[in-house]
Amino acid sequence: MPLNNAATPVASTKLMPTLFVPHGAGPCFFMDWNPPHAWDAMAAYLKGIAAQLPEAPKAILMVSAHWLEEDFVLTSGAQPQLIYDYYGFPPHTYELQYPTPGEPELAAKAAALLEQAGLQSRLDPTRGFDHGMFIPLKLMFPAARIPVLQLSLRRDLDPQAHLEAGRALAALREEGVLIVGSGMSFHNMRGYGDARFGPVSDEFDQWLTATVETEPDQRDVALENWEQAPGARLCHPPRAEEHLIPLMVVAGAAGASPGRRTFSDRVMEVTLSGFQFG
């Protein structure tokens, strides 16, 4: 059963949570699927997130599984274009629009925070928004009015470095910035649709949920060593864990904020979950 119980800025009156959301398969929410209702619960979860926030975000910092660079890179264009980085889907899905503005000043500030933490970063004024950003945000904030910047993953996918990046950016939460990791808690392409992976995904999901919900210092240590979790490399094959690593950034940005699972559903024979900190 799905769990749907949630889930240039200035100082905010309320501390924003951080989120790790599943973004589905390509443009799955905007096309016919077989079975027809496979993504309905996830779509309802994403659509319900805005109502669960303490206030409307002044900006969104999105960490997408679909952008890897040697160092951390931030979009800094005023109006980034969309990147339709999915393949073999119906023609209309390449005409989807999400004309939200970028946030160059916030991008510069985020880059400075990363540099202060000893993490190399740079700005990219030409990079667009990939589908790991615009597909879930079309459901979460369909009006496309909240400024957004994207942060890349680092290509080495080092969990400690991504936790540190989150810690460096944590102060943005106090300015009304919503930090969102967009990925999937299970992402083995050979496992989707294979019932043998159901129990494997369940075991890993149970570990992931317990880890997110534990005391923050223990949580971060466990996330650094996520490969030791039951079924970890069956759920995220070696060098293909980019869909899990956004969780490290949002967990790092959570600081002392507690975490909890806010969504879980069985899709294509495996368990997929979403998490919130704070």
CATH number corresponding to 18-277 = 3.40.830.10
- The C-alpha atoms of residue 77 and residue 107 are separated, in whole angstroms, by 9
- The C-alpha atoms of residue 23 and residue 42 are separated, in whole angstroms, by 8
- Residues in CB range of 143: below 8 A, 6 or more apart: none
pLDDT (tens digit per residue) in 219-241 = 999 999 999 999 999 999 999 99
- The C-alpha atoms of residue 176 and residue 54 are separated, in whole angstroms, by 10
Total-model pTM: 0.94
Burial 117-127 (b: 16+ CB within 10 A, else e): eebebebbeeb
Long-range interactions of 105-109: CB distance < 8 A, separation 24+ = 105/8, 106/8, 106/9, 106/59, 106/61, 106/147, 106/149, 106/172, 106/177, 107/74, 107/75, 107/76, 107/149, 108/76, 109/172
- The C-alpha atoms of residue 258 and residue 265 are separated, in whole angstroms, by 22
Pairing relationship of beta strands 259-267 and 270-277 according to DSSP bridges? antiparallel
Overall average pLDDT of the 4-16 stretch: 57
Return the closest-CA partner of residue 2 out of 32, 37, 28.
37
pLDDT (tens digit per residue) in 70-94 = 999 999 999 999 999 999 999 999 9
Annotated domain spans of the chain: 18-277
DSSP code, position 81: P
Q: Are 272 and 17 in contact (CB under 8 A)?
A: no
DSSP code, position 250: H
pLDDT at 13: 59
Return the closest-CA partner of residue 168 out of 241, 255, 107, 102.
255
pLDDT at 14: 86
10 Å CB burial of residue 264 (0-12, 13-18, 19+) is: buried
Rounded to 5 degrees, φ, ψ at 149 are: -130, 150
Residue 3 has pLDDT above 50, yes or no: no
| Better-scored residue on pLDDT, 7 or 236 | 236
- The C-alpha atoms of residue 160 and residue 226 are separated, in whole angstroms, by 11
Rounded to whole angstroms, the maximal C-alpha distance in the chain is: 49
pLDDT (tens digit per residue) in 157-195 = 999 999 999 999 999 999 999 999 999 999 999 999 999
User: 11 falls in which pLDDT band (50, 70, 90)?
Assistant: low
- The C-alpha atoms of residue 107 and residue 84 are separated, in whole angstroms, by 22
